[in-house]
Protein backbone atom coordinates (compact mmCIF):
# COMPACT_ATOMS: atom_id res chain seq x y z
CA UNK A 1 0.00 0.00 0.00
CA UNK A 2 2.87 2.36 0.83
CA UNK A 3 4.46 1.74 -2.58
CA UNK A 4 1.11 2.25 -4.27
CA UNK A 5 0.52 5.62 -2.57
CA UNK A 6 4.08 6.67 -3.44
CA UNK A 7 3.52 5.68 -7.08
CA UNK A 8 0.20 7.50 -7.35
CA UNK A 9 1.70 10.63 -5.78
CA UNK A 10 4.58 10.51 -8.23
CA UNK A 11 2.26 10.04 -11.21
CA UNK A 12 0.17 13.03 -10.16
CA UNK A 13 3.05 15.24 -9.14
CA UNK A 14 4.62 15.37 -12.60
CA UNK A 15 1.62 16.80 -14.51
CA UNK A 16 0.75 18.99 -11.53
CA UNK A 17 4.24 20.54 -11.49
CA UNK A 18 4.02 21.26 -15.20
CA UNK A 19 0.54 22.73 -14.82
CA UNK A 20 1.57 24.92 -11.87
CA UNK A 21 4.60 26.10 -13.85
CA UNK A 22 2.44 27.24 -16.75
CA UNK A 23 -0.01 28.99 -14.43
CA UNK A 24 2.87 30.91 -12.89
CA UNK A 25 4.22 31.84 -16.33
CA UNK A 26 0.84 33.11 -17.43
CA UNK A 27 0.48 35.14 -14.24
CA UNK A 28 3.88 36.77 -14.43
CA UNK A 29 4.52 37.34 -18.15
CA UNK A 30 2.49 39.24 -20.69
CA UNK A 31 2.04 36.82 -23.55
CA UNK A 32 0.97 37.15 -27.16
CA UNK A 33 -2.28 35.46 -28.23
CA UNK A 34 -0.34 32.66 -29.92
CA UNK A 35 1.79 32.01 -26.85
CA UNK A 36 -1.31 32.01 -24.67
CA UNK A 37 -3.02 29.48 -26.94
CA UNK A 38 0.07 27.33 -26.89
CA UNK A 39 0.37 27.34 -23.08
CA UNK A 40 -3.35 26.64 -22.64
CA UNK A 41 -3.04 23.64 -25.00
CA UNK A 42 -0.15 22.24 -22.97
CA UNK A 43 -2.04 22.82 -19.73
CA UNK A 44 -5.11 21.05 -21.07
CA UNK A 45 -2.96 18.04 -22.01
CA UNK A 46 -1.62 17.79 -18.44
CA UNK A 47 -5.12 18.11 -16.98
CA UNK A 48 -6.31 15.32 -19.33
CA UNK A 49 -3.45 13.14 -18.14
CA UNK A 50 -4.48 13.55 -14.51
CA UNK A 51 -8.11 12.92 -15.39
CA UNK A 52 -7.30 9.64 -17.16
CA UNK A 53 -5.19 8.55 -14.22
CA UNK A 54 -7.98 9.27 -11.73
CA UNK A 55 -10.46 7.38 -13.96
CA UNK A 56 -8.20 4.31 -14.04
CA UNK A 57 -7.64 4.50 -10.26
CA UNK A 58 -11.40 4.61 -9.70
CA UNK A 59 -11.92 1.65 -12.04
CA UNK A 60 -9.33 -0.35 -10.08
CA UNK A 61 -10.81 0.54 -6.72
CA UNK A 62 -14.31 -0.36 -7.92
CA UNK A 63 -12.99 -3.74 -9.08
CA UNK A 64 -11.40 -4.34 -5.68
CA UNK A 65 -14.37 -3.25 -3.64
CA UNK A 66 -17.32 -4.77 -5.47
CA UNK A 67 -18.83 -8.25 -5.26
CA UNK A 68 -17.88 -10.76 -7.96
CA UNK A 69 -19.70 -10.32 -11.30
CA UNK A 70 -23.11 -11.91 -11.70
CA UNK A 71 -22.60 -15.25 -13.44
CA UNK A 72 -26.16 -15.17 -14.80
CA UNK A 73 -25.67 -12.05 -16.92
CA UNK A 74 -24.87 -13.13 -20.49
CA UNK A 75 -22.71 -10.64 -22.34
CA UNK A 76 -23.58 -9.57 -25.89
CA UNK A 77 -20.10 -10.08 -27.32
CA UNK A 78 -21.02 -8.77 -30.79
CA UNK A 79 -22.12 -5.39 -29.41
CA UNK A 80 -19.17 -5.22 -27.04
CA UNK A 81 -16.64 -5.96 -29.79
CA UNK A 82 -18.28 -3.42 -32.12
CA UNK A 83 -17.75 -0.72 -29.47
CA UNK A 84 -14.12 -1.76 -28.96
CA UNK A 85 -13.55 -1.77 -32.72
CA UNK A 86 -14.96 1.75 -33.21
CA UNK A 87 -12.81 3.05 -30.36
CA UNK A 88 -9.64 1.33 -31.65
CA UNK A 89 -10.13 2.62 -35.21
CA UNK A 90 -10.56 6.17 -33.89
CA UNK A 91 -7.42 5.88 -31.75
CA UNK A 92 -5.45 4.36 -34.63
CA UNK A 93 -6.36 7.25 -36.96
CA UNK A 94 -5.53 9.77 -34.27
CA UNK A 95 -2.12 8.22 -33.61
CA UNK A 96 -1.16 7.63 -37.26
CA UNK A 97 -2.54 10.74 -38.95
CA UNK A 98 -0.41 11.11 -42.04
CA UNK A 99 1.50 7.87 -42.40
CA UNK A 100 0.44 4.57 -43.91
CA UNK A 101 -1.70 3.75 -40.87
CA UNK A 102 -2.24 0.40 -39.20
CA UNK A 103 -4.20 -2.59 -40.40
CA UNK A 104 -6.88 -3.53 -37.87
CA UNK A 105 -8.59 -6.89 -38.29
CA UNK A 106 -11.54 -7.79 -36.06
CA UNK A 107 -12.69 -11.34 -36.68
CA UNK A 108 -16.45 -12.04 -36.51
CA UNK A 109 -17.87 -12.55 -33.00
CA UNK A 110 -17.89 -16.14 -31.72
CA UNK A 111 -20.77 -18.58 -31.51
CA UNK A 112 -20.34 -19.01 -27.74
CA UNK A 113 -21.54 -16.66 -25.02
CA UNK A 114 -19.81 -15.39 -21.93
CA UNK A 115 -21.35 -14.92 -18.48
CA UNK A 116 -20.16 -11.98 -16.40
CA UNK A 117 -20.00 -8.22 -16.28
CA UNK A 118 -20.20 -6.50 -19.68
CA UNK A 119 -18.76 -3.21 -18.40
CA UNK A 120 -15.77 -4.93 -16.78
CA UNK A 121 -15.09 -7.03 -19.85
CA UNK A 122 -15.35 -3.98 -22.07
CA UNK A 123 -12.78 -2.18 -19.97
CA UNK A 124 -10.38 -5.15 -20.04
CA UNK A 125 -10.79 -5.78 -23.78
CA UNK A 126 -10.41 -2.13 -24.75
CA UNK A 127 -7.24 -1.82 -22.66
CA UNK A 128 -5.63 -4.73 -24.53
CA UNK A 129 -6.81 -3.55 -27.95
CA UNK A 130 -5.87 0.09 -27.39
CA UNK A 131 -2.44 -0.98 -26.10
CA UNK A 132 -1.89 -2.95 -29.31
CA UNK A 133 -2.69 0.23 -31.28
CA UNK A 134 -0.47 2.39 -29.05
CA UNK A 135 2.57 0.09 -29.10
CA UNK A 136 2.49 -0.79 -32.81
CA UNK A 137 4.16 1.57 -35.28
CA UNK A 138 2.46 2.79 -38.42
CA UNK A 139 2.46 0.08 -41.11
CA UNK A 140 1.94 -2.68 -38.52
CA UNK A 141 -1.15 -4.78 -37.97
CA UNK A 142 -3.46 -5.76 -35.11
CA UNK A 143 -5.73 -8.79 -35.05
CA UNK A 144 -8.51 -9.35 -32.53
CA UNK A 145 -10.38 -12.65 -32.20
CA UNK A 146 -12.36 -14.85 -29.84
CA UNK A 147 -11.40 -18.50 -29.95
CA UNK A 148 -11.53 -21.83 -28.12
CA UNK A 149 -8.47 -22.61 -26.00
CA UNK A 150 -7.31 -25.91 -24.46
CA UNK A 151 -9.29 -27.51 -21.58
CA UNK A 152 -12.61 -26.09 -22.76
CA UNK A 153 -11.50 -22.51 -22.13
CA UNK A 154 -12.30 -19.59 -24.41
CA UNK A 155 -10.15 -16.57 -24.97
CA UNK A 156 -10.01 -13.11 -26.44
CA UNK A 157 -6.65 -12.84 -28.20
CA UNK A 158 -5.16 -9.52 -29.34
CA UNK A 159 -2.12 -9.92 -31.56
CA UNK A 160 0.06 -7.06 -32.75
CA UNK A 161 3.21 -6.70 -34.83
CA UNK A 162 4.55 -3.96 -32.56
CA UNK A 163 7.54 -3.43 -30.29
CA UNK A 164 7.19 -6.67 -28.35
CA UNK A 165 8.42 -7.19 -24.78
CA UNK A 166 11.74 -8.75 -23.69
CA UNK A 167 11.43 -11.97 -21.60
CA UNK A 168 12.83 -10.37 -18.42
CA UNK A 169 9.84 -8.01 -18.23
CA UNK A 170 7.10 -10.56 -18.83
CA UNK A 171 6.70 -11.75 -15.24
CA UNK A 172 5.99 -8.19 -14.05
CA UNK A 173 3.43 -7.38 -16.74
CA UNK A 174 0.10 -6.57 -15.06
CA UNK A 175 1.67 -4.98 -11.96
CA UNK A 176 0.35 -1.52 -11.29
CA UNK A 177 2.49 1.21 -12.85
CA UNK A 178 4.98 -1.30 -14.30
CA UNK A 179 6.03 0.06 -17.67
CA UNK A 180 8.48 -1.45 -20.12
CA UNK A 181 8.64 1.59 -22.38
CA UNK A 182 8.15 4.60 -20.14
CA UNK A 183 8.37 7.31 -22.78
CA UNK A 184 6.07 5.56 -25.27
CA UNK A 185 3.56 5.03 -22.45
CA UNK A 186 3.58 8.75 -21.57
CA UNK A 187 3.56 10.00 -25.16
CA UNK A 188 0.54 7.89 -26.01
CA UNK A 189 -1.43 8.86 -22.89
CA UNK A 190 -0.75 5.75 -20.78
CA UNK A 191 -1.36 5.53 -17.04
CA UNK A 192 0.50 2.28 -16.33
CA UNK A 193 -2.75 0.77 -14.99
CA UNK A 194 -4.42 -0.70 -18.10
CA UNK A 195 -3.02 -4.21 -17.79
CA UNK A 196 -3.56 -4.26 -14.00
CA UNK A 197 -7.24 -3.56 -14.74
CA UNK A 198 -7.38 -6.27 -17.44
CA UNK A 199 -5.71 -8.82 -15.14
CA UNK A 200 -8.10 -8.01 -12.30
CA UNK A 201 -11.18 -8.35 -14.53
CA UNK A 202 -9.97 -11.72 -15.87
CA UNK A 203 -9.39 -13.01 -12.33
CA UNK A 204 -12.81 -11.82 -11.14
CA UNK A 205 -14.30 -14.01 -13.89
CA UNK A 206 -12.27 -17.04 -12.86
CA UNK A 207 -9.85 -16.49 -15.73
CA UNK A 208 -6.42 -14.97 -16.33
CA UNK A 209 -4.40 -12.56 -18.44
CA UNK A 210 -1.77 -14.26 -20.61
CA UNK A 211 1.05 -12.69 -22.61
CA UNK A 212 3.21 -14.18 -25.32
CA UNK A 213 5.70 -11.75 -26.79
CA UNK A 214 8.89 -11.49 -28.76
CA UNK A 215 11.02 -8.36 -28.72
CA UNK A 216 10.86 -6.55 -32.05
CA UNK A 217 8.23 -8.90 -33.51
CA UNK A 218 5.06 -8.28 -31.52
CA UNK A 219 2.82 -9.64 -28.79
CA UNK A 220 -0.36 -11.56 -28.12
CA UNK A 221 -2.29 -10.53 -25.01
CA UNK A 222 -5.18 -12.84 -24.10
CA UNK A 223 -8.03 -12.88 -21.63
CA UNK A 224 -8.67 -16.56 -20.93
CA UNK A 225 -11.98 -17.68 -19.38
CA UNK A 226 -13.11 -21.04 -18.04
CA UNK A 227 -15.94 -22.93 -19.72
P1 LIG B 1 0.35 1.95 -20.09
O2 LIG B 1 -0.73 2.89 -19.75
O3 LIG B 1 1.73 2.42 -19.70
O4 LIG B 1 0.29 1.45 -21.47
P5 LIG B 1 -0.44 -0.75 -19.27
O6 LIG B 1 -0.70 -1.30 -17.91
O7 LIG B 1 -1.56 -0.78 -20.25
O8 LIG B 1 0.10 0.73 -19.06
O9 LIG B 1 0.80 -1.53 -19.88
C10 LIG B 1 1.98 -1.67 -19.08
C11 LIG B 1 3.23 -1.66 -19.96
O12 LIG B 1 3.26 -2.85 -20.75
C13 LIG B 1 3.26 -0.51 -20.96
O14 LIG B 1 3.81 0.65 -20.40
C15 LIG B 1 4.13 -1.08 -22.07
O16 LIG B 1 5.48 -0.88 -21.77
C17 LIG B 1 3.83 -2.58 -22.03
N18 LIG B 1 2.84 -2.99 -23.06
C19 LIG B 1 1.50 -3.11 -22.91
N20 LIG B 1 0.90 -3.53 -24.04
C21 LIG B 1 1.91 -3.68 -24.96
C22 LIG B 1 1.95 -4.11 -26.34
N23 LIG B 1 0.85 -4.46 -27.00
N24 LIG B 1 3.17 -4.15 -26.93
C25 LIG B 1 4.30 -3.81 -26.25
N26 LIG B 1 4.32 -3.40 -24.97
C27 LIG B 1 3.14 -3.33 -24.32
Cβ–ligand 1 contact at 192 (below 6 Å): yes
Cβ–ligand 1 contact at 116 (below 6 Å): no
Closest Cα to atom 16 of ligand 1: 180
Spatial distance between the Cα atoms of 68 and 58, rounded to a whole number of angstroms: 17
pLDDT score of 70: 85
Residue 47 phi/psi, 5° resolution?
-65, -40
CA of 25 to the centre of ligand 1 (A): 34
Spatial distance between the Cα atoms of 227 and 225, rounded to a whole number of angstroms: 7
Spatial distance between the Cα atoms of 55 and 39, rounded to a whole number of angstroms: 24
Contact 85, 127 (CB under 8 A): no
Q: pTM of this prediction?
A: 0.93
Q: What is the pLDDT along the chain (227 residues), one digit of tens a residue?
A: 898 999 999 999 989 999 999 999 999 999 999 999 999 999 999 999 999 999 999 999 999 989 999 888 999 999 999 999 999 999 999 999 887 799 999 999 888 889 999 999 999 999 999 999 999 999 999 999 999 999 999 999 999 999 999 999 999 999 999 999 888 898 888 999 999 999 999 999 999 999 999 999 999 999 999 98
pLDDT score of 222: 98
Contact 162, 137 (CB under 8 A): yes
Closest Cα to atom 11 of ligand 1: 179
Half-sphere exposure of 84 (CA within 13 A, CB side): 34
DSSP assignment string, 146-180: EEE-GGG-EEEEEEE-S----HHHHTTTTSTT--S
Spatial distance between the Cα atoms of 31 and 129, rounded to a whole number of angstroms: 42
Cβ–ligand 1 contact at 131 (below 6 Å): yes
Amino acid sequence: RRDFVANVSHEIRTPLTVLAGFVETMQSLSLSDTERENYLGLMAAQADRMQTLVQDLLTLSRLEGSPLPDSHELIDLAALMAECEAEARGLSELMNPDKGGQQLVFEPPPAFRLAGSASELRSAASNLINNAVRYTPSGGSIRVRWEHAPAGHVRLAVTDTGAGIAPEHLSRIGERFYRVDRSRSRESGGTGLGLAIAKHVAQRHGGELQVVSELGRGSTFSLVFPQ
